[in-house]
Structure 1
Amino acid sequence: MTPRLFAALPVPEIFHKEIRRLQKGVPGARWRPSANFHITLRFFGTMDGKQAEDLDAELASIAMPPFDLTLQGSGWFGKLDPHSLWLGLRPSEPLAELNAKCERAARRAGLEADSRKFHPHMTLAYLQGTPIEKLTRFAERTGGFVTEPWRATHFTLYSSQLSRGERNIYEPEADYPLL
C-alpha cells in the first residue's frame, strides 16, 4: 500500500500528558495516541516517487521564521453527524502563512488545490455514533483548555499507513526548519 503524505507541526511532548487527561467521557471515541499529536498544515495524499521528491524539494524551500503556537479550546467536526473531536489553536497569522506556503509548494509539485478551508486543530479522537449531548458536555468541560505557548521551530513531512487495527501509523519522512 502506498503511504499518504501530509505536512504538520508536531505538538511538543511536554503537553501530551495534559492532553491525554482530556481523552475520556465520550462514547464512540477512538482516542488518538500521543505519537499522533500534530497540527496538519496540508494533506497531500498518495503520489509517485518523483512527485514526492518534487514536493520534498518545494517544502524544503519554504522560508519563514519560527513562531509561537497555543492550543486553545475544543470542538468537533461533523455538526449533527460528528466524525472527529479536536483541540483548536489560538489564531496565528504565521500559522496561516505556513499553511499557505505548503499549499503553494503542493501546487508547484503538481498537486491539485486543496478545496477545504484551513481550520487549524489537533485531532483528539475519531468518532462513531457519539451522541451530540456527550460532545456538548465534552466541549463544556474542555472549552477553557489552553496550553502555554510553544515555539514552532520546524515542520515535518509525515507518511501515513493504516495498520491492521485500523489505526494510522505516522512516520516522519523529513523535517524542515523554520529559520
Structure 2
Amino acid sequence: MPRLFAGLEIPPDIGRSLSDLRGGLPGARWIDPENYHVTLRFIGDIDGLAANEIALTLFRVNRRPFDVTVQGLSSFGGKKPRAVVASVVPCRPLMELQAELERLMQRMGLDPEGRKFTPHVTLARLRDASNRDVADYLSVRGYFPSRVFTASRFVLFSSRSSVGGGPYVVEDSYALSA
C-alpha cells in the first residue's frame, strides 16, 4: 500500500543552497537534499486501485507555470519544535493549485486536510530539540536569501510508511502549461 502525496520538487541548485544550512542543531534529523519538496496535499496510505485513480484524476489539473520563492528559515511546533523549515512565499497561483488538489482529493472521498496549508520545505525533523537550541540555530543560520524558481510541474510522490524524510519516489508528473 503506497503512501502518497502531491508536491513541488526543489531544483538541485536551491537544494544545494539549503543543504549548506545543515548541522549545528542538537536533536535534528536532517533531510537529504534530493528529498526536499513542497507538499501540496498529503494523501496517505492508499491501496493500488485508489492510487491509480488518484494519479489519473491529477491529470485534470490545468494551470500555468508560476514562480515559487523560497525565503528565510523558521520552525514548526511552537513550544515543542518539531521541524526546521525553509519558508515558501504563499503566492496566489501556489495557493490556488493547492486548493484545487484539496478539492479533487475530497471529491475522491479523502478526508479534508486537517491543517492550514503553510507552504514550506522541511530541512530537519526535530526530536528533543529545545526552544533555546532552535532559537540559537535560527539566529545564526536563519537568514536565507530569497531564491526563486519556476514550477512547471507538480508530482505525485510515494514514500515508505512511517519513515519521514524519504526516500521519495516520483510516481507521476503533471505539467503546468495551461
TM range (shorter): over 0.9
Checking the alignment, whether the CA contact within 8 Å between 1:39 and 1:121 is kept in structure 2 is yes
- Percentage identity across aligned positions? 37
Q: Secondary structure at the match of 1:18?
A: helix
Checking the alignment, whether the CA contact within 8 Å between 2:7 and 2:155 is kept in structure 1 is yes
Name the counterpart of 1:100.
99
Checking the alignment, whether the CA contact within 8 Å between 2:45 and 2:161 is kept in structure 1 is no
Deviation at 1:140, TM superposition (A): 2.0
Structure 2 distance, partners of 1:151, 1:166, is 26
Q: Secondary structure at the match of 1:82?
A: coil
- Pairing of 1:97-136 with structure 2 (within 5 A): 97-136=96-135
Deviation at 1:101, TM superposition (A): 0.9
1:172 is aligned, of 166, 170, 173, to 170
Q: Does 1:76 align with 2:88?
A: no
TM-score when scaled to structure 1? Answer: 0.92
Structure 2 distance, partners of 1:82, 1:91, is 22
Structure 1 distance, partners of 2:136, 2:90, is 24
Length, aligned pairs only: 177
Deviation at 1:82, TM superposition (A): 1.3
Q: How much is the aligned-residue C-alpha RMSD, in angstroms?
A: 1.7
Code of the aligned partner of 1:108: R
Code of the aligned partner of 1:146: P
Deviation at 1:73, TM superposition (A): 1.3
Name the counterpart of 2:160.
161
Name the counterpart of 1:89.
88
Name the counterpart of 1:31.
30
Checking the alignment, whether the CA contact within 8 Å between 2:28 and 2:129 is kept in structure 1 is yes
Code of the aligned partner of 2:45: T
Deviation at 1:105, TM superposition (A): 1.5
Structure 2 distance, partners of 1:166, 1:47, is 17
Code of the aligned partner of 1:140: S
Code of the aligned partner of 2:11: P
Checking the alignment, whether the CA contact within 8 Å between 1:10 and 1:39 is kept in structure 2 is yes
Q: Secondary structure at the match of 1:64?
A: coil
Structure 1 distance, partners of 2:164, 2:108, is 30
Checking the alignment, whether the CA contact within 8 Å between 1:15 and 1:147 is kept in structure 2 is no
Q: Secondary structure at the match of 1:112?
A: coil
Q: Which runs of 5+ in 1 are unaligned?
A: none
Structure 2 distance, partners of 1:146, 1:39, is 18
Q: Which runs of 5+ in 2 are unaligned?
A: none
- Cα deviation digits, residues 50-76 of structure 1 (max 9, x gap): 221221122110011000011111111
TM-score when scaled to structure 2? Answer: 0.93
